[in-house]
Amino acid sequence: MISAIALLDLAFHYGRGNFTLFCPSLDFSLGELSLITGSNGSGKTTLSKLMSGILKPQQGEVRMFGKTASSLRLGEIGSQVGYLFQDPSRQLFAGTMWKEMTFADDLLGKEQTSSAERASSLLERFDLLALKDRSIYYLSGGEKQRLALCTILMGGARFLILDEPTVGLDRQNRRILYGIIDDLLAEGRGLAVITHEDELIERYPEARRIKVENGQVLP
């Protein structure tokens, strides 16, 4: 398996407060699903932000597809590693669903036809194409989450980190999400999912489990 993210003996603490996260060496590969579990405030989101390069560790090293993360800019990381926020509203900012999908490509001056084709194909796959002209303010929680995932995939991410993706979703939307996870794994992408949802944990008995307890990552 191809290594996507490698965490090498990390230690991280925020500027203020006493919380420190310690993480022994861990490797996340493409085609693999890792479930990161732990109680509230244990450091799961901090770990996921270290994995995505949003936070930089004070000790140790994060490597992404063989490169040291500290030498990469977030924009470079984003083309390989995607991050779904716990509240997807925080990562949606364009007026309509369609503008949201093409926002990054427009900004980068990419060719419009190919961008539109990719956006259509992703929206169709995530059952959102009929809503493409809808304002993002009128989307349900599940739709916002799927749209946020689509925008990440538009960027070309091969490894995705999902921060508590089942929070606030009803049974139907959870099923849709599981289907998406299955598809992404089948495509060979890597996934790290932060969760304390028993249903999700039970659905993927083969998945790798990583526990975070009081700032200590237990592989």
Partner 1 sequence: MKKADPRVKLFWVLLCTTGVLVFSRPFWVLGIALFTLAGTLSFGVDLQSLLQRLRRFLPLLVVISLLHLLFVQTGEALVFIRGYQVITSGGIIRGVITLVRFFVILCSAAVMGNENIRRVLAALTKLRIPYLFSFMLMIALRFIPSFQSSFSDAIIALQLRGVDLNKLSFRRKIRMYGDLLLPVVADAVVKSRQLAIVMEARGFGAFDKRTSYLEVRMTAWDWIVTGALFTLGAAAFGYYFF
Which chain residues interact with partner 1 by CB under 8 A? 15, 52, 54, 73-79, 81-83, 85, 89-94, 103-104, 107-109, 137, 151-152, 154-157
Angle at alpha carbon of residue 185, lines to 27 and 110, rounded to 5° = 95
Nearer to partner 1, 28 or 85 (CB): 85
Other CB atoms within a 10 A radius of the CB of residue 121 amount to: 12
Nearer to partner 1, 7 or 148 (CB): 148
65 vs 178, which CB is nearer to partner 1? Answer: 65
107 vs 186 by CB, closer to partner 1? 107
d(CA 101, CA 122): 9
Half-sphere exposure of 85 (CA within 13 A, CB side): 12
Provide the sign of the torsion angle of the four alpha carbons 101, 106, 112, 118, taken in this order: negative
Comparison of 149 and 207: residue with beta carbon closer to partner 1 = 149
Number of helices (H), then strands (E), belonging to the chain: the values are 7, 11
Q: How far is the CB of 80 from partner 1 (least distance, A)?
A: 8
Least distance (Å) from partner 1 to the CB of residue 142? 19
What lies within 8 Å, CB to CB, of 129 at 6+ separation is 120, 123
Q: Nearest approach, Cβ of 147 to partner 1 (angstroms)?
A: 12
CB of 172 to partner 1, least distance (A): 26
Distance CA 29, CA 5 (A): 7
Q: Least CB distance from residue 201 to partner 1, whole Å? A: 26
